[in-house]
Structure 1
Amino acid sequence: MAYLHLATVTIYAWVEGWNDASNGPLLPRMQQVYHVGYAVVSLIFVFSCIGFICGAIANVFMSERLGFGKVSACAFLQVVGYSIQAAAPPFPAFVLGYFVNGFGMALQNAQATGYTARIGQNTALNMAILTSVSAGALVCPFVATEFSQLPQWSFHFLTSVGLSLFNLVALVAVFRLKNQEECLAQIGRTVEEKGTSDRNELRQIFKLKEVHLLALFVMFYSGTGVTIGGWTVTYIIDVRGGGSHSGYISAGYFGGLLLGRFAFLKVNKKLGERLALVIYATVAIALECIVWFVPSIAGDAVAVAVIGLLMGPVYPVSLNYATKVLPRWLLTGAIGWIAGVGQAGTALFPFITGAIASKAGIKTMQPVVVASLASMIGLWLLVPKSSRRHD
């Protein structure tokens, strides 16, 4: 039964990765079809950001009142959001689909992450989830790039509808709308008692400094990563003169991200997680400078793929750290908030990049990414070293 639960959660994770990688190859086509510039097309990220934030906040209340199974069934919102996008309606309605999808994705992310965290500090389990995310992100650019060249380009989102329907059916069939405690009992996991404080859960979560620092760090990490995976395609086409198949460069980045989940496990252990992440981000900055200053499509593609490789270990390390320093009974809400803010970063940072590009050109993407990576290093160094829990 435990393996069935894990398989079901990895299905959602695959859809999440697919969603994150969809926009990069399609952005140039959206601009062409809707006749909009960098700033206006970036509204898709704004509405997605608002959806993620609303979903992250709503998750704290919904988890307490409805429970794991019923909140997970809100995966139907992703079906609705993708259906709107697949119809290629007028641009205002098109971006509304991103809001609906973002709201549903935040709920799914919080529930899946919180549930696996309650199962226990299992490195293999966390890696299975994160590998599934990366696998979905790796496959998507190949499909999205092909659809971007077709007259019915928006039919790419029909594939997303199909994946989301499969995810919804799996969640309902396996978890059967049960709460988290019942699902944990099914796989033989004991349920820990909640804290005795009379403060509500949301207030307790927001009182923890670690929650805010980790949320900001994950926001910068996620936002920077999706900016690279998304806007790089437009950068290569507009600045380097790349062709219609430039979308495959995005696949190189996400492929590196997938490989990076495993490649540095021993390095992390030998160097220590805090030092290792600083080194990875520093080298990524150097490689981003190559993309910035070296006018070579092939060289830029290789540099982007290696950046993905270096970014791969970052999220698993930060997630593992969160399970060590946060009260276990608050993990679903706390990690849901961290993940939701992080997912909001995947919308906010690409929007900022597009807004700046509308004024100064897409060439400004590289200094924005370099600054984001540097900020990520600073935030990681601010996260407390202590492993003391607040139970």
Structure 2
Amino acid sequence: MPIEAAVISQPRLAHTASCELNNLDQPSASRSSSDTQRQSKPVIPKVQVLAAGFSFFCAGVDGATLGPLLPYIIQSFSINAGEVAVIYACIFAGWVIAAVTNLFLTSKFSFSALLTLGATLQLLAQCLRPWATKPLFFVSFTVQAIGMGYQDTHANTWAGGLPQAHRCLGFIHAMFALGCLAGPLTATAIATATGSGHSQKNGIEAWRMGYFQLIGIHALNLICMLLAFGNPLKQRKTREPIVHLAPATATADTEILERRRSKEALRDVSQLLRMKSFWLIGGFYLFNCGAWSAAGGWVVEYLVAHRNGALDKVGYVPTGFWAGLFLGRLLLAEPTHRFGEQRSIMCLSVICLLFHLLFWLVPNLVAGAVAFSFTGFFFGPFFATGMSVASRLFPRKIQSTALGLVFVLAQAGAAIFPSITGLIATRVGVQVLQPVILGLIIGGAVCWWFIPKVPDHIDGSSD
């Protein structure tokens, strides 16, 4: 996906050119000194990073809202735990569609256009949910996932190429965790404001009212994309110089160029799929994101059914997990970077495993909730650190494609394993959640152990 590389490089080239013009009359030693200073302190596009962070916040709110609402969804649509798996299957289908179409859309549309398309699809999905019947409600999760696949994948890859990428990635993924923190709080508060969550206002059940807040923030997300990254209709891909030709010749050349781009995309993917590093980092994300999503999505149902918790109380337990995840992404990003990213994640995996065992084996609701929160805290730096390492595993030519597909694998794990958990829970009960999460944490740690060693500080500094 070369568009991200083009977007990243343009500001740097423009900045360098303007600095050279301003310094023509300076002594060469002075220019050399100032050039070195500029290279050591590259400029981070703060407005765009904030906009990308807000898009991840929206994704976090949407993803974490599902867990607290599952008991209401099960009652409203008269479905069982196995049928809940259909929702996660719809999410997975959306990510598969996004992964396949992303390869070709990237060669045809601008970076801004893809971000705008993703934001628009997510807004459309939210607009359906307050009124949708069961089939349309389920389909809305596919539409939502496609939108995330376009917007967040490209925003993530773009941030991974910025100066001090570990901090930029840490910020945008902390915003995702902040959204996950806000989602259960607001969803539970709105659903329980009128008692059962099934009382109606203007023909809409109380638990569905929470989706109106999602309509608002996703509308703001679309506006942010347009303001921060520009008008998508005015930005066209210009990977090769434009030559004024006769209409017939121009049309033929355009068709040849499009075929060439499609072949290049397929060739890049073929090269990527032959790399062991891709499957290892992909497995790390597949298992760990599956663990986070299964835990956040099923813990309320688990505490109600297996620990006899009151729904209006345990509905807030996922908030502790997401609060821990948010704080972990903010506070542990820098220590992880300085201590050594690959070594740090291995140590943190062991700590997460211990806290999960505490949550599983201690039959106390409060102690379990605290252990669950600490699990989220130590999971915090996993995503951004993994992306930082992944950006150094792959050749620059296929880096954008690689990071995009790794991101899709992460979201696939977040959809597949909660779905599998639901299917198994239908037969043996929701207590299956605990061994499933345990296995996923171990699987992620094993994949991380075998990832090839990469330099810890690619930018040459620890600042």
Q: TM-score, normalized by length of structure 2?
A: 0.76
Residue 46 of structure 1, CA deviation: 0.7
- Give the whole-Å Cα distance in 1 for the aligned partners of 2:442 and 2:47: 40
Contact 1:69–1:179 under 8 Å retained in 2 = no
- Give the whole-Å Cα distance in 1 for the aligned partners of 2:145 and 2:122: 8
- Which letter maps to 2:359? V
**Alignment pair present for 1:314 and 2:382:** yes
Matched residue of 1:385: which SS?
Answer: coil
Matched residue of 2:79: which SS?
Answer: coil
Question: Are residues 246 and 199 of structure 1, via their aligned partners in 2, closer, same or farther at CA, if it must alter by over 3 Å?
Answer: closer
Partner of 1:169: 223
Contact 2:328–2:376 under 8 Å retained in 1 = yes
- Give the whole-Å Cα distance in 2 for the aligned partners of 1:354 and 1:146: 25
**Alignment pair present for 1:343 and 2:411:** yes
Partner of 1:148: 191
- Give the whole-Å Cα distance in 2 for the aligned partners of 1:24 and 1:324: 35
**Alignment pair present for 1:364 and 2:432:** yes
Alignment of 1:1-391 (within 5 A): 2-74=45-117, 75-89=119-133, 91-149=134-192, 150=197, 151=199, 152=205, 153-175=207-229, 176-177=231-232, 178=235, 200-243=267-310, 244-265=312-333, 267-269=335-337, 271-386=339-454
Deviates more, 1:324-333 or 1:300-309: 324-333
Residue 32 of structure 1, CA deviation: 1.1
Residue 138 of structure 1, CA deviation: 0.9
- Give the whole-Å Cα distance in 2 for the aligned partners of 1:211 and 1:64: 22
Matched residue of 2:363: which SS?
Answer: coil
- Give the whole-Å Cα distance in 2 for the aligned partners of 1:329 and 1:168: 30
Question: Are residues 115 and 238 of structure 1, via their aligned partners in 2, closer, same or farther at CA, if it must alter by over 3 Å?
Answer: same
- Which letter maps to 1:221? N
Matched residue of 2:417: which SS?
Answer: helix
- Which letter maps to 2:148? M
The CA RMSD measured in Å over matched residues stands at 2.3
Question: Are residues 174 and 92 of structure 1, via their aligned partners in 2, closer, same or farther at CA, if it must alter by over 3 Å?
Answer: same
- Give the whole-Å Cα distance in 1 for the aligned partners of 2:362 and 2:308: 13
Percent identity reads 25
- Which letter maps to 1:148? A
Unaligned runs of 5+ in 2: 1-43, 200-204, 240-260, 459-463
Contact 1:233–1:246 under 8 Å retained in 2 = yes
- Give the whole-Å Cα distance in 1 for the aligned partners of 2:98 and 2:313: 35
- Give the whole-Å Cα distance in 1 for the aligned partners of 2:236 and 2:98: 19
Residue 121 of structure 1, CA deviation: 4.5
Deviations 1:105-140 (A, max 9, x none): 111121101211233442221222112111111111
- Give the whole-Å Cα distance in 1 for the aligned partners of 2:356 and 2:142: 30
Contact 1:110–1:333 under 8 Å retained in 2 = no
Count of residue pairs the alignment pairs up: 375
- Which letter maps to 1:33? S
Q: TM-score, normalized by length of structure 1?
A: 0.90
- Give the whole-Å Cα distance in 2 for the aligned partners of 1:118 and 1:180: 19
Unaligned runs of 5+ in 1: 183-193
- Which letter maps to 1:251? T
Report 1 or 2 for greater relative contact order, CA contacts < 8 Å, sequence distance ≥ 6: 1
Residue 55 of structure 1, CA deviation: 0.6
- Give the whole-Å Cα distance in 2 for the aligned partners of 1:71 and 1:265: 28
- Give the whole-Å Cα distance in 2 for the aligned partners of 1:180 and 1:237: 52
Contact 1:37–1:358 under 8 Å retained in 2 = yes
Larger Rg: 2
- Which letter maps to 1:361? G
Partner of 2:17: none
